[in-house]
A and B are shown apart, each in its own frame.
Chain A
Amino acid sequence: MPPSNVRALRLAPERVPAEGRAAEIVSLADWPSVEQPVVPLVPKSAPSRARRLLSVIGHNPLAVSGGAILLFVALMGLTSPLLYPGDPLAIVAEPFIWPGTDAAHPLGTDSLGRDMLAGIVHGAAVSLQVGVFATFLGLLIGVSVGAVAGYFGGWTDVVLSRVTEVFQTLPNFVMLVVVVAIAQPSIATLSVAIAIVTWPGVARLSRAEFRTLREKDFVLAARSLGFGHVRIIVSEILPSALPPIIVTASVMVASAILMESALSFMGLGDPNVVSWGSMIGAGREYLRTAWYMCALPGFAIMLTVLALNLLGDALNEILNPRRQVRR
């Protein structure tokens, strides 16, 4: 009796989440013996995967709250020009109004008399923009390098892996500071800088995926049909390599937001926009008397990043069923 069969049987029902489970369990119970061939229990087609995604997220209260928080932050960022049409850096009231003491400024004002809530609402837009741009760029560079290295192998792989390794060896945050100091800080350069330090991780991941997938039959078939390398990489292998990359992307957005906030806190952010990190940096001097100035924007960062990580966990459960450990 091949042991792999037994293992697959034992693990299989637990791997199929939520709705699909009942049907699978019934069919498993009907099986007369463990020697039966293992039917692929994880559906591969796109629509059922999407349905599974929704159903798993729906049954996971943590993922639901993560999604809700993220939706709220995104709405806040998108509607910031409507909610607070003026410049959030403008002085609107007397300084040091504590949160909850003035109905006109529910979260109070900072040391110059700028509205805290206006800053947090506008900061949401900045954080999310940097998070999304940086992740997009990082994925673009990382997946391209990883795909080429993994697909072609040989010397291409050796050279690209070495370059990746050099970038990965450089200490991330020092590198970030260097890049931002070279290019004047703006949302665009911050995103590029973050992408520069995050792509090596993506490259390693996609290299591994492409190395495995290029040996598969469907790639051989595509090759024998005379497809070009670019076509094979983009339309044949990439879709299969995507699930782990998507999971990484959600975590990358989270860490990009953290990096942006740290840079802005150090005074290396875009000076023309208000960001959560720069608000904390500005409030730092008044920690003794008005600690709410640091506490509130930091709380916003924490909630946003937490929401992204909760979603990342849920995505991991759905998209990487084999890597994920049964619950």
Chain B
Amino acid sequence: MTSVSRAARTAWRTGLHAVPTALGVVVLSFLLLQLAPGDAVDVLAGEAGSATAETMAEMRAHYGLDKPVGQRLVSYLADLAHGNLGFSPRYNMPVTQLIWDRLPGSLMLAGSALVLALIVGVALGVLMAAREGKATDRVLSVLSLIFYSVPAFWIGLMLIVLFSIKLGWLPSGGSQTIGSSATGIAAVLDQLRYMILPTVSLSLFYIAIYARLSRISMIEAKGQDYVRTARAKGLGETHILFRHVLRNALIPLTTVAGMHVGGMLGGSVVIETVYGWPGLGRLAYEAVMGRDFAVLLGILLFSSLLVIVANAVVDVLHGIIDPRVGGNDATK
């Protein structure tokens, strides 16, 4: 079977599998949100400070919040089938648009953190596995355990203290210089400066996970028969390390990294708060606080879909790294 048709089969299988999961996510979150005290109109009225009972009832009728739960769920699902995620009373715009506005910021942050974490994590893991049991290994092991134990928001604040307040090298928050008229390369560089601290704070935890995981899977792979065979064939150590050991160690690593894609979007709430970064996590937090449940449902659904897509990508990657994987449905 060619790798293209295998990828297509994986995508198809994942798609079939994803529909009930996504539906479960929507129904579960919808019902959960009904338990929350107060709705968007309460919060809006509270903020306006001058709403009568009549105007509040009118607003509820306008946004369809006065209908019974079952009816609202059905109409939400019907809208969803048409790709309509509803309307946000708070922001006064369609949820789809709100999410599209915030998505690039979130994807940029999560994406760059994931890439940084994978590069640094695997590099550390390879180094530790190569020096297994020696001082380098021990020091780096403890260091990665420390990374693993540090709260991301705290390290974010400490990085601000060091690099923004004490040294003045990097901006302490925001996503670009306000009122900057820079374009082209200058604008990109400007944005990069704002991304460094959030990306580093978000990635430390994942660097630790990938370093520990790749260390252990590399050490495990080193003891396998095919590595001994490769060595017996007279292959160079570097060649063995990268072509045989690392390649096999990558399988558990990609599985875990795939699971993190969704978590990073959600988990970046605190980082987005610390750095005032305009992303989906922050939007979700504001939606909870403003009882803007259409927005929240949209985000939950969207990030769940992202998790499902990420898992599919991981399945395809496994097929590429290890051709024995994914050839038939039995292995799944």
Contact = CB atoms under 8 A, between A and B. Distances in A.
Interface of A: 3, 62, 162-163, 165-167, 169-175, 177-179, 181-182, 254, 258, 261-262, 265-266, 277, 280, 284, 287-288, 291, 294-295, 298, 301-302, 305-306, 308-310, 313, 325-327
Given A166-B25, A178-B288, A294-B158, A254 B153 contact: no
B78 to A, nearest CB: 21
Contact of A266 (B146, B267, B270, B308): B270
A171 B310 CA distance: 13
A3 B225 CA distance: 10
A308 B308 CA distance: 32
Interface of B: 20-22, 24-25, 28-29, 32-33, 35-37, 132-133, 142, 145-146, 148-155, 157-158, 160-161, 165, 216, 219-220, 223, 225, 262-263, 265-267, 269-270, 273-274, 281, 284-285, 288-289, 296, 299-300, 303-304, 307-308
A306 B303 contact: no
Given A170-B25, A302-B150, A306-B146, A280 B157 contact: yes
A182 B157 contact: no
Given A162-B21, A181-B289, A298 B304 contact: no
Contact of A171 (B154, B263, B288): B263
B207 to A, nearest CB: 15
Contact of A306 (B22, B145, B153, B273): B145
A271 to B, nearest CB: 15
Most buried by B among A171, A172, A306: A171
B212 to A, nearest CB: 9
Contacts of B161: 287, 291, 294-295
A295 B24 CA distance: 42
A298 B165 contact: no
A171 B265 contact: yes
A169 B266 CA distance: 11
Given A171-B267, A173-B269, 5 more contacts: A166-B21, A174-B303, A287-B165, A298-B155, A306-B149
B304 A174 contact: no
27 contacts: A162-B20, A162-B24, A166-B28, A167-B28, A169-B308, A171-B300, A172-B263, A174-B299, A178-B33, A179-B32, A254-B149, A261-B151, A262-B153, A266-B269, A266-B270, A266-B285, A277-B151, A287-B161, A294-B157, A294-B158, A294-B161, A298-B158, A305-B150, A305-B151, A306-B146, A309-B145, A313-B145
B165 A291 contact: yes
A262 B151 contact: yes
B153 A265 contact: yes
Contact of B288 (A181, A284, A291): A181
A53 to B, nearest CB: 20
Given A173-B269, A280-B153, A181 B308 contact: no
A15 B270 CA distance: 41
